[in-house]
Structure 1
């Protein structure tokens, strides 16, 4: 079974800032859209770090790499960040699949917006971590990222928002490096179906809390 993350803190700008940390006992295969460790390949650790909603550093990848170094993490890993308090992580399981999501919906957007001009960074962010207990083929792994994104968008719609996510969402799908290979990752495949249900539930539950409280990590700090 995929381990739950540990909640730890780093000292930054005079505050104890929370982050979630996974140290994998052995390397896993991952596909991710994260700013640090995005792409496909072996991954040995993962961090999901809270940042202020006013976060505006132009080098989040370097920032996350620095955090990993502070934690003594070596080898390839994944780094994500969000404006919500990562202590509010929501977990969901379905038929062997495990999902952890931190859900910030302070700046929801529809992906296709004819009036959108340029890019304005917001730190709200929906970050999704998925564990699938069978090795996925290369195409299936990429398809699983798409399926998780579809389930996220469905949950956001079910929350009553005319949006598909935020401008800075990230997802990582992890599976074993070896063993028999599953060929499909779509929403009706052996692993895609339970993953979609688990992602939907985690984002729906986490989003409902975020919308009800409207609180970010910065709010709790003050």
Structure 2
């Protein structure tokens, strides 16, 4: 599913207007958690963005774009026009990637705020329904694939402190029970995320 590109005050926005609500698991600032979502948006914000109410900001953006119902909203300092799409079979990933000047190791002993903007947002779709457990597993699979891409690119970290993910699938039909990297859906998901993150990183990781 390819998003539309819209312009709003402050920057560009990727908008997925879903024909029917999809079952979604997300860590996004707006619409995070598990439930049905009618839309997704990923918006560019300026360097130095300092709002403490990203959910309110995203709600305002959604309203300005005429989006109705519950949705999932992401923010990033990366220009979302640089989004990378990858697909395999019935799985698709759309990734915007920046790691800032100081990427983060997940298990750093003394986490500190990163210097400079950096966020990796991954919006992923499965054409088949996933069970709730498989959706949770799929989020872990995305994190693993992202970390593999960063390691292969020589990035000294597993991501950034603001990375966010969404996985969307049909709400009806037989549910696939597994979302790990050796399952049919999870394996395809790992490959498309790995490819998209790898392609999104090279020209931006040092400046974003």
TM-score with structure 2 setting the length: 0.95
Cα offset for 1:81? 0.6
CA distance in 2, matches of 1:4, 1:203: 17
SS at match of 2:50: coil
Q: Structure 1 runs of 4+ off > 3 angstroms?
A: 119-123
Select which of 4, 7, 11 maps to 1:6.
4
Cα offset for 1:123? 3.6
The alignment status of 1:20 with 2:14, answered yes or no, reads: yes
Out of 105-114 and 162-171, give the one that drifted further. Answer: 105-114
Cα offset for 1:111? 0.8
Aligned to 1:113: 108
SS at match of 2:195: helix
Equivalent residues in 2 for 1:90-169, closer than 5 Å = 90-106=84-100, 107-117=102-112, 119=113, 123-169=117-163
Aligned to 1:220: none
Q: Could you give the per-residue CA deviations for residues 47-69 of structure 1, whole angstroms, max 9, x where no partner exists? A: 00000120111111110011011
CA distance in 1, matches of 2:16, 2:82: 16
Q: Could you give the per-residue CA deviations for residues 124-157 of structure 1, whole angstroms, max 9, x where no partner exists? A: 2000011111100010011101111110111011
Structure 2 unaligned residues grouped into runs of 5+: none
SS at match of 1:208: coil
RMSD of aligned C-alpha atoms?
1.4
TM-score with structure 1 setting the length: 0.89
CA distance in 1, matches of 2:54, 2:117: 11
